[in-house]
Amino acid sequence: MNAATLYTVNSKALATYADSIQRSANDSLSAWILLGQSERYSAEMATVRAIRAAAAERSVYVRREILRNAGFVVKLPRAACA
C-alpha cells in the first residue's frame, strides 16, 4: 500500500477527508465481504480513526506526527509546487 500524501493538516479538511474514506469503506464493505477481504474495512477504519485523532488536536505539530505515524506523507503546500 502506498502512503497517501497530504498537503494540509487543517482540522476541517482532515475531518472531510475522514468522512470521505469512511463513506467509501461503508459502500465497499459488502463487496469486500463477498471477496473475503473484510480486513480492508478494518484497515480503512484504522485510517479514519487516525485522521480524526489528528483533526481533534490543536497543535499542528502533533497533527503532523499523528498522520506520519499512521503512514501518511505530510508535505507543506509550498513543497507541492517544487
* Segment (H or E) for 5: strand 5-6
**C-alpha–C-alpha distance, residues 76 and 42, integer Å:** 29
Expressed as residue numbers, the domain containing 26 is 5-81
| Cell numbers representing residue 51 in the block | 485522521
What predicted TM-score, i.e. pTM, was given to this entire model? 0.82
Measured in residues, the chain has a length of: 82
Cell digits for 3?
A: 502512503
11 within 8 A of 63, measured Cβ to Cβ: yes
Q: How many domains does the chain have?
A: 1
Q: What is the pLDDT of residue 79?
A: 53
pLDDT tens-digit profile of 73-82? 988 776 555 5
